[in-house]
Amino acid sequence: MRIVYLNGDYVPKSAAKISVFDRGLLFSDAVYEVISVIDGRLIDMERHVARLERSLGELSINAFADWLAVSQQLVSDNGLQEGLVYLQVSRGVMDERDYRWPAPDTPPTIFAFAQERVLIANPMADSGMRIITRPDLRWQRCDIKTTQLLYASLMKMEAVAAGVDDVWMTRDDLVTEGTSQNAYIITRDGILISHQLDRAILPGVTRIEMLAQAKSLGLTVEERAFSIDEAKDAAEAFISSSTLLVMPVVEIDGHRIGDGRPGERTGKIRQNYLAAVQDGHSTKN
């Protein structure tokens, strides 16, 4: 039986009910985290908790829970070996629909669930992803991990309609990030370019460890936005996220990247990233 967490209780999925007056439902007044689970262990949990607390702080949502204990309990109750834990916190339930926030002592709605997913043996690591670009029409606080995901969802459907794997979004012809991943290129001079951390992108948890691994492989990292043309001309391209880890990109807007196969350095970064999170940087159950 699938067990989920809701406001302090671990209950069967069918028993978890949320009010129609929840601000998460009516205003997307909610933040979330997706934590990968490999071999039954939560990966980089401390960094996910730090980002969750930052998102909550930016929106003045008062919510406290033992995020690690909740996540561990879900992994164990559901016998999860590989996949993810999803945690969501909304500002809570209003008496009436109102744009203005309820009193600060309104209890938040906190829920979480575990979900199976193949992470390590994802065949896309061998085939690479095909990407199209589209304008980034999201709001200007993409550094906060809110549940306002409708634009990202529309873009995923554009990718499906175009027969490709995902979309990289652009502002003024500069790539911000993927619909649900951070985006990178390795130039022909061997420089790894990663968008700087600002309000245009989500500060990816995977990005932190991935960049550390890239540096230890001897790559120079430049933190700045890159253009679509630079991306098309790159030697390699890839993405990072908790659900895809590090994944090569082999085509952008119909242009092959490099020789059209997953890049060698990208492959090494993925391998070293996996080794690092599996032994040192993951939080054990």
| 177 contributes a contact to ligand PDD by CB under 6 A | yes
**Residues 181 to 200 in contact with ligand PDD, rule: CB under 6 A:** 181-182
**Residues 61 to 90 in contact with ligand PDD, rule: CB under 6 A:** none
Q: Are 26 and 97 in contact (CB under 8 A)?
A: yes
CA distance linking residue 38 with residue 44, whole number of Å: 11
CA distance linking residue 238 with residue 250, whole number of Å: 8
| 176 contributes a contact to ligand PDD by CB under 6 A | no
Closest CA to 103 of 199, 23, 193: 23
| 180 contributes a contact to ligand PDD by CB under 6 A | yes
CB of 233 to ligand PDD, least distance (A): 23
Please select the residue that binds ligand PDD; options are 56, 74, 205, 252, rule is CB under 6 A.
205
CB of 136 to ligand PDD, least distance (A): 10
In sequence order, which ranges of 217-279 are alpha helices (DSSP H)?
Answer: 228-232, 264-276
If the CB atoms of residues 51 and 265 are measured against ligand PDD, the closer one turns out to be: 51
If the CB atoms of residues 94 and 129 are measured against ligand PDD, the closer one turns out to be: 129
**Residues 216 to 245 in contact with ligand PDD, rule: CB under 6 A:** 240-243
Strands 191-194, 220-223: parallel, antiparallel or unpaired by DSSP?
parallel
Q: For residue 242, which phi and psi values (nearest 5 degrees)?
A: -65, -25
3 state DSSP class of 133: strand
Neighbour-count burial of 161, counting CB atoms closer than 10 A to its CB (0-12 exposed, 13-18 middle, 19+ buried): exposed
Q: x/- contact string, 133-172, with ligand PDD (CB under 6 A)?
A: ----------------------------------------
- Note if 284 is an active site residue: no
Choice among 145, 215, 232, 284 that is catalytic:
145
CA distance linking residue 177 with residue 201, whole number of Å: 6
CA distance linking residue 210 with residue 43, whole number of Å: 13
Applying CB under 6 A, what is the total number of residues that bind ligand PDD? 14
The residues annotated with a catalytic role in the active site are: 145
Interface with ligand PDD (CB under 6 A): 34, 177, 180-182, 202, 204-207, 240-243
